[in-house]
């Protein structure tokens, strides 16, 4: 057992035949020398935050072969803070959203591996060196993920948020099957993954229909395809900047796209265990969306959704058909949502 700097005990995972994920124990930085392209989708970024993101790529201890910046229909002012560096390639295109910008960049990246970074996040200097060190063989088509720190808009580390995100990440890697963990929820931050280019040939790129959960949709497809997912656990390697502009603050849109990802995954011919996780979470999320309608004072829409989805949620609460390690948390969340929905259903007739 190894104690990390945030007081969380890490149990380093042993590889099993059923597992599609490995956690890192030691890194051999000479084992997998490879070329890495970094990619940032750009849309009217805050100049100083964007400059920090770009510099964090260029100052990696394992140098990138290129940094591809795609301006997705925004202004060109960001160019004023881009340093002079022959590795930087800048493209501009009409606005199509972050998924479209990332796919545009993927078609132009020349590296063997692709590393993603959001325009207001940044990497620690050894991010790529540490991630490459956990790849088991040179040129292996795989995805490598790692923990993140959370900071506020001013760059101050948020201790509780960082600890919460770290716990969720380590929990996602702690079982024998990362597919079940990713089917239950996304625990990988979008500025974390390092992905071999052949992975995109196998599973496709980002799906705009699943925005803003397009990153989770991609990770889930990678895992369900049986491609290796390596989980680095030694320390955070990326920094996520939490502020009001983050997509995660837009609750209704987030929940709707979450349901889209779950519905899409159910069409991929998944195992019974994963199907049970997806279906039970989907109906819970649909009742959560009903409660968001209540918050917006759409009481008729709320009652219609409750009548449609609440009976199934109650049935799955009584008999989920699940045997995975996330069942206790699912039961807790379901019970809370059921009780709130029943109470609100009665109140809605008097609003």
Distance of alpha carbon 103 from alpha carbon 320, whole angstroms: 38
- What is the arithmetic mean of pLDDT over 336-344? 98
Gyration radius of the chain's alpha carbons: 21
Say what percent of the chain tops pLDDT 90. 84
Per-residue pLDDT at 157 exceeds 90: yes
Tens of pLDDT, residues 2-56: 333 322 223 233 333 333 455 543 444 444 568 999 999 999 999 999 999 999 9
Length of the chain: 351
Predicted pLDDT of residue 30 = 42
Tens of pLDDT, residues 186-243: 999 999 999 999 999 999 999 999 999 999 999 999 999 999 999 999 999 999 999 7
Distance of alpha carbon 199 from alpha carbon 258, whole angstroms: 23
Tens of pLDDT, residues 265-308: 999 999 999 999 999 999 999 999 999 999 999 999 999 999 99
Q: Which residue has the tokens 């009584």?
A: 318
Predicted pLDDT of residue 21 = 57
Dihedral angle sign, alpha carbons of residues 308, 310, 311, 315: positive
Report the half-sphere exposure of 303 (CA within 13 A, side-chain side).
Answer: 10
Per-residue pLDDT at 255 exceeds 80: yes
- What is the arithmetic mean of pLDDT over 148-173? 96
Predicted pLDDT of residue 2 = 32
Distance of alpha carbon 48 from alpha carbon 181, whole angstroms: 36
Per-residue pLDDT at 245 exceeds 60: no
Predicted pLDDT of residue 243 = 73
- Lowest model confidence (mean pLDDT) among 67-71, 75-79, 239-243, 263-267: 239-243
Predicted pLDDT of residue 23 = 52
- What is the arithmetic mean of pLDDT over 91-106? 98
Distance of alpha carbon 239 from alpha carbon 157, whole angstroms: 9
Distance of alpha carbon 58 from alpha carbon 109, whole angstroms: 16
Q: Which residue has the tokens 């750009």?
A: 42
Please give the CATH number for the structural domain made up of 13-246.
Answer: 3.90.550.10
Q: Give the phi and the psi of residue 211 in degrees, each rounded to 5.
A: -60, 140
pLDDT category at 59 given cuts 50, 70, 90 is: very high
User: Is residue 229 classed as helix, strand or coil in its secondary structure?
Assistant: strand
* Residue 174, both tokens: 């702690």
- Biggest CA–CA distance in the chain, Å, is 68
300: Cβ–Cβ under 8 A, 6 or more apart, which residues? none
266: Cβ–Cβ under 8 A, 6 or more apart, which residues? 275, 278, 279, 282
CA torsion 152-156-160-165 (nearest 10°) is 60
Predicted pLDDT of residue 321 = 84
pLDDT category at 351 given cuts 50, 70, 90 is: confident
Average pLDDT, the chain: 90
Predicted pLDDT of residue 110 = 97
User: Is residue 325 classed as helix, strand or coil in its secondary structure?
Assistant: coil
Per-residue pLDDT at 252 exceeds 50: yes
Q: Provide the residue ranges of all domains of the chain, joining segments of one domain with +.
A: 13-246, 271-348
């Amino acid at each position: 057992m190894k104690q990390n700097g945030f007081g969380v005990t890490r149990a380093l995972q042993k590889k099993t035949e059923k597992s599609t994920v490995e956690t890192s124990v030691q890194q051999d930085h000479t084992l997998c020398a490879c070329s890495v392209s970094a990619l940032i989708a750009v849309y009217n970024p805050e100049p100083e935050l964007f400059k920090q993101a770009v510099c964090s790529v260029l100052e990696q201890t394992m140098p990138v072969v290129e940094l591809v910046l795609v301006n997705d229909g925004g202004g060109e002012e960001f160019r004023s803070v881009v340093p002079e560096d022959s590795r930087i390639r800048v493209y501009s295109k009409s606005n199509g959203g972050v998924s479209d910008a990332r796919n545009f960049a993927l078609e132009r990246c020349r590296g063997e591996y692709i590393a993603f970074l959001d325009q207001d996040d940044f990497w620690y200097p050894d991010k790529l060196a540490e991630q490459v060190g956990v790849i088991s063989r040179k040129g292996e088509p795989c995805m490598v993920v790692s923990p993140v720190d959370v900071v506020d808009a001013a760059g101050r580390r948020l201790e509780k948020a960082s600890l919460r995100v770290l716990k969720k990440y380590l929990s996602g890697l702690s079982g024998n099957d990362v597919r079940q963990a990713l089917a239950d929820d996304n625990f990988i931050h979008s500025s974390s993954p390092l992905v071999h280019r052949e992975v995109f040939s196998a599973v496709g790129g980002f799906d705009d229909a699943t925005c803003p959960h397009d990153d989770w949709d991609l990770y889930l497809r990678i895992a369900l395809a049986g491609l290796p997912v390596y989980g680095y656990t030694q320390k955070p390697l990326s920094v996520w900047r939490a502020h009001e502009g983050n997509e995660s603050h837009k609750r209704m849109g987030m929940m709707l796209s979450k349901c889209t990802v779950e519905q899409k995954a159910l069409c991929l011919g998944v195992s019974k265990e994963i199907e049970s996780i997806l279906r039970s979470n989907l109906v819970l999320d649909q009742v959560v969306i009903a409660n968001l309608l209540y918050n917006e004072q759409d009481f008729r829409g709320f009652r219609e959704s409750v009548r449609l989805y609440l009976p199934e949620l109650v049935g799955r609460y009584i008999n989920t058909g699940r045997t995975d390690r996330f069942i206790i948390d699912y039961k807790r969340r379901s019970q809370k949502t059921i009780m709130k929905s029943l109470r609100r259903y009665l109140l809605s007739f008097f609003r």
